[in-house]
Copies of this chain bind each other. A is one copy, B any other.
């Protein structure tokens, strides 16, 4: 109730997309001061998380995990390399692929980064149940958007 427009007009407060867009920016804003102590930006942090999970990883592999293409990753990885956190090396048996490996310094950063999720969690202030519900719905939404040939009802943009 209360979200239909009288005429065919559009209103910001009706747009689900705007809530998600706002939330995403609120999150990166909240991360910024935490990550600044590590010398990382938010996307750089995500790349390091992926590398702490398993390494070495190719640029393509990182791109698939984070849904980022080389246009974004190449310069980002160069900055991480310049910061001394990763190395970039062509694979011997396939010179097209570049393998990204954390340096000892990059691996050491994990210890300082371990407190970040906990601190963010307390800033977000939602319950475990809400979090599960949120992730379920967002997962469906993202999957639906990434595969437009989808049979589903019609919510509100």
Contacts and interface: CB of A to CB of B under 8 A. Distances in A.
A103 interface: no
A108 interface: no
Interface of A: 8-12, 14-31, 42, 46, 49-50, 52-53, 65-67, 110-111, 113-114, 116-128, 130-131, 133-135, 137-142, 144-146, 148, 150-157
A46 B19 contact: no
A137 B146 contact: no
Nearest to A153: B127
Interface residue SS majority, chain A? helix
A53 B141 contact: no
B67 A25 contact: yes
B137 A125 contact: no
Nearest to A10: B49
Task: List the 6 closest pairs (A to B, CB-CB), nearest first.
Answer: A125-B152, A120-B157, A117-B157, A24-B24, A125-B144, A26-B145
Contacts of A119: 157
B10 A113 contact: yes
